[in-house]
Amino acid sequence: MVYTNANRFIVANAKNILESYGVQIAVKNEFASSAIGEVSPFDTWVELWVVRDRDYDMACRILESAISDEHAAPWICKSCNEENDESFEFCWNCGQSAV
Ligand SMILES: [Zn+2]
C-alpha cells in the first residue's frame, strides 16, 4: 500500500497525481461502503496500492513532494538565520516558528 486517508477526495487526488507520473494504481475499499451495508463510508479508508512493486519508491517520493508543495522551499529562520528544511514548522536551531 502506498497511500491511504480517511478523506476519499484526498485519496482520489493522490491517485490522479500518481497516474500523471505514469504510476499504475489499484484502489482498494473504494466500493466497500456500498457493498457491505453495515459499514459506514467513514469506517472504511480508501487505499491506494501500486500495481508494480518497482513503482513503490517513486510513488512515495511523488506523494511526499506533492503533499509538501505548500512549503516548497527551505526557509531561513528570522531569528538566527539558520536554513531549515521545508518540512520543519519550527527552526531546528532556536525553535522560532516558520511563519
Ligand atoms: Zn532559528
pLDDT tens per residue across all 99 residues of the chain: 888 887 888 888 889 999 999 999 999 887 655 455 555 555 678 899 999 999 999 999 988 877 665 545 788 899 999 988 877 889 999 999 887
> Ligand 1 centre and the CA of 62: distance in Å?
29
Query: What is the helix, strand, coil percentage profile of the chain, to 5?
Result: 40, 20, 45
Residue spans of the domains in the chain: they are: 3-67, 73-99
> Ligand 1 centre and the CA of 68: distance in Å?
21
Q: What pLDDT score was predicted for residue 99?
A: 73
> Ligand 1 centre and the CA of 99: distance in Å?
12
> Ligand 1 centre and the CA of 36: distance in Å?
52
Instruction: Please report the DSSP string for 3-23 in residue order.
Output: EEES-HHHHHHHHHHHHHTT-
> Ligand 1 centre and the CA of 87: distance in Å?
15
What H or E segment, with its residue span, contains residue 90? Answer: none
Cα distances from 31 to residues 7, 36, 44, 60, 80, in angstroms, run 14, 9, 9, 24, 51
Model-level pTM? 0.54
> Ligand 1 centre and the CA of 78: distance in Å?
7
